[in-house]
A and B are shown apart, each in its own frame.
Chain A
């Protein structure tokens, strides 16, 4: 069974930037050249006077609220009104007959600024003399997870190991930049957005326009990658505002340079870790202080920081934890959601600690993890009992078997060192400690077609196919009998976002429930139409076609549809699922934040060039407990893509900021892994069906990328005998560490 649709390889698929409409205007944003400044005057007259300019909008033109946000907390303006807080923030937006005029008009918007001192790091933001950046000061979020008595554990431990770890800001770098098309429709507006959540888009646009949301229809066309990043909410709302003002279709695109400057980044975090263990390597306590740069506005900092503290002790059994986190406002580009929601960062810090602990105790890195790995029935750091089977220990044992001992030790050649590294992770599926209902609708359409409708977009990962398979399974049919429609606020229910590794697990459960009820409903309706007993009918395939069959006849779905009265059409059934979670105790962070966890182990083999510091990743082995596998090809695609993204995070990628400006604002200097930087990935599926997942399935979207950088960092540390504390492992960083080691500086 294949992923993807023929339209993609023939070039017919339409992404939002490919759409053209009669009378369409091109839009462009006028952006702040300052990281922090007061806006003292804005003049649009020069821009408006350009031949071909159609409209210029500034904050005071917004009819509704000038306040948006990806979560419940609305904190960011669509366009800055009184002051700008990060470089590239929107100040005005223009629409014109051509792209060229739009660009010139955007340049011609006159804005007078009074620059203010700006804050560009967590350290600066913490300083007592720092300017106040957020509504309640400079702390965007703070919270903790605590259990047991860490201080006592530290006193009683045989080893106490501390370390400071740093991770860089990185970009989603989807190859399609953000584009939005908004067009007038009778009574309202249609918006095409390459979004992970069209229903959220609809609500945000409605608030900004001051319209009832029913007047706005948001549809996701084919989406050119997401990884937690799209939509850019200000852009989305600006396109809608221009459409409302001009009454014409408006396309608002972003250049790569704009995208890298203004789109959200993976949170850069500084971790102060303390691990306490007994002589044998048993973890007694873990303490973490995580300081993250939230950027200029709140965006996703709350859920990302929550994830960081919840996952702060790693997938290990630890009785005593004190896991604290802070997000600080700065005048840097916003930090947001990116594949893994903070967990790739914390995994790097935790897993380096585990390796260093193993070294300190003379233990093998896999042994120490086996000793401490969470098992079925254990409690997590938040005190949640893991009732579903946990495949982590099995994955570690398997990892041990897979790599021959002599290879595991690595080798030192004349010019390079090779070696393996290991990292473990766990990842809660779905949104954190809050209701996050998934909803699915199954309908019978004309001709007997069965349609599955879900709001959560297929962002390229293949969720439409995976969800279609789950529906087909529940109906006892083939996937080809289920038409999947997603991401259209008029035709699909609000199933929440395609993020947080919630689609397979949360939405998938809703799909199974909807499909089961739909099958029952079909049989009941058919029984009523035919005047037979419901129990005599079953939904089956006959000559490749779904029918309701009894002992002596078959009744086709097309016929059933025809027999239904007008009020009964389309016959449709809704299914929902809300994972069994609790909120977290505000003081202790104790509770059950997720309904299911994905677990895994990753092994990476690297070579480190002794002279240049160049790291090559030669092989990755990914051992995953994802419960039941829904679609092996899609799973493999997620894992290979996730590993590539992890290789980039480990070795290449870092948004370089100078005074809030992204210096490497295109792919000549923001380097992504290419076909020659990636390696063979061996995938090993471990574990048993999850007791709450759809047919036992759990999610993989984010877990695919979480452990890769940590495993590579551990491999590089072991192979080259250096002590990696910071990502990425650029040539400069590794060669400096090698030089220091030569001078006897190691440990």
Chain B
């Protein structure tokens, strides 16, 4: 199939990628850019494991075609860690027991980040609604909702944007 070159920004880096018309943004991220933190759970927009932030909005990367991402600004889970320091949201997922097998976690965290970027003081219902497109089979969601609410509260109290990670990104 004919390939076309597109440029886009991923986690702050400009990149140029040769894509086919039927390639999904998910494949571009996982296979071309080797960013394996973004997961695939259903391939049809139902599980949210592939959630990334595209131009400020959460999208299911399995539903976006790569050519549609030309010139887009994409943030993946890898983009939340800077110099080995994980974001407050990631830390709260760990500290609140919001992670079991963790397969849903990158997508959950990206959805939660998009919510908090848009609405820094969400109610519990806001959080549940925002997360309702992300499936988790392990945790029963309660701890995930807690993690997001605690993050919002800490940010609201003016707590540091991020805290040192424990061997976060290499």
Residue among A2, A644, A666, A674 making CB contact with B97, cutoff 8 Å: A2
Interface pair B99/A4, CB less than 8 Å apart: yes
Q: In the complex, are the beta carbons of B102 and A637 less than 8 A apart?
A: no
Give the contacts of B37-87 with A (CB-CB under 8 A).
Answer: 37-44, 46-47, 49, 76-78, 80-81, 86
Q: Do most interface residues of chain B lie in helix, strand or loop, or is the interface mixed?
A: loop
Asked if B119 CB lies within 8 Å of chain A CBs, one says no
Tell whether, in the assembled complex, residue A6 and residue B86 are in contact, meaning their CB atoms are under 8 Å apart: yes
Count, A-B residue pairs, CB within 8 A? 183
Report the bound CA distance from A715 to B142 in whole Å: 22
Q: Are B137 and A672 in contact (CB under 8 A)?
A: yes
A226 to B138, CA, bound (A): 9
- Residues on A with C-beta less than 8 A from B42 are 256, 666-667
The docked-state distance in angstroms from the alpha carbon of A173 to that of B104 is 12
Chain B residues contacting A12 (CB-CB under 8 Å) are 37, 78, 169-170
Kindly report which residue of chain B lies nearest to residue A172, judged by CB atoms.
B137
B101-A224 in contact (CB<8A):
yes
| Nearest-CB residue, chain A, relative to B168 | A10
Asked if residues B41 and A177 are in contact (CB atoms below 8 Å), the reply is yes
Is B81 a contact partner of A15 (Cβ separation < 8 A)?
Answer: no
A588 on the B face (CB < 8 A): no
Asked if B109 is at the interface of the complex by the 8 Å CB criterion, the answer is yes
Could you tell me how many residues of chain B have their Cβ less than 8 Å away from some Cβ of chain A? 60
Determine whether the beta carbon of A173 is less than 8 Å from that of B137.
yes
Residues in A whose Cβ lies below 8 Å from that of B167? 6
**Do B35 and A3 touch across chains, with their CB atoms under 8 A apart?**
no
B141 and A9 contacting across the interface, CB-CB below 8 Å = no
Q: Which of A622-640 contact B (CB under 8 A)?
A: 633-634, 636-637, 639-640
Q: In residues 102-161 of chain B, which contact A (Cβ within 8 Å)? A: 102-106, 109, 127-129, 131-145
Mask: chain A, 17-48; 1 = CB below 8 Å from B; 0 = not = 11010000000000000000000000000000
Minimum distance in angstroms from A138 CB to a CB of chain B: 33
- A214 close to B (CB within 8 Å): no
CB distance from B137 to the nearest CB of A (A): 5
Contact B46–A637 (Cβ < 8 Å):
no
Q: How far is the CA of A255 from the CA of B100 in the complex (A)?
A: 22
Judged by a CB distance under 8 angstroms, whether B95 is at the interface is yes
* Complex Cα spacing A395 to B17, Å: 61
- Find out whether the CB atom of B138 lies under 8 angstroms from the CB atom of A225: yes
Please state if A641 and B166 are interface contacts (CB–CB under 8 Å): no
Smallest Cβ-Cβ distance to B91: which chain A residue: A9
| Segment at the interface with B among A152-160, A204-212, A379-387, A676-684 | A676-684
Q: Specify the chain B residue showing the minimal Cβ separation from A668.
A: B46
Q: Tell me whether B142 and A678 are in contact (CB under 8 A).
A: yes
- Chain A residues, Cβ within 8 Å of B134: 674-675
In the bound complex, residues from chain B placing their C-beta under 8 Å from that of A674 are: 131-135, 141
A640 and B142: CB pair below 8 A? Answer: yes
Shortest beta-carbon distance from A629 to chain B in Å: 14
A645 within 8 A of B: yes
> Which single member of B43, B76, B94, B143 contacts A11 (CB below 8 Å)?
B76
B14 at the interface (CB under 8 A from A): no
Query: Which residue in B137, B145, B168 is a CB contact (below 8 Å) of A225?
Result: B137
Which residues from chain B contact A177 at a C-beta distance below 8 Å?
41
B3 adjacent to chain A (CB < 8 Å): no
- The contact of A10 among B44, B104, B142, B169, by CB within 8 Å, is B169
Residues of B within 8 A of A645 (CB): 137, 140
On whether the beta carbons of A4 and B100 are closer than 8 Å, the reply is yes
A639→B46 CA distance, assembly (Å): 25
CB neighbours (8 Å) of A421 from chain B are none
User: Is A459 on the interface with B (CB-CB < 8 A)?
Assistant: yes
Which residue of chain B has the shortest Cβ distance to A6 in the bound complex?
B166
Residue in contact with B101 in the complex, picked from A14, A173, A174, CB distance below 8 Å: A174
Q: A-contacting residues of B (Cβ < 8 Å)?
A: 30, 34-44, 46-47, 49, 76-78, 80-81, 86, 90-91, 93-95, 97, 99-106, 109, 127-129, 131-145, 165-170
Listed from nearest, the 5 A-B pairs whose CB atoms lie closest are: A11-B37, A460-B101, A224-B103, A8-B102, A640-B140
- Residues of chain A whose beta carbon lies under 8 Å from any beta carbon of chain B: 2-4, 6, 8-15, 17-18, 20, 172-177, 222-227, 255-256, 459-462, 633-634, 636-637, 639-645, 666-668, 672-676, 678, 680-681
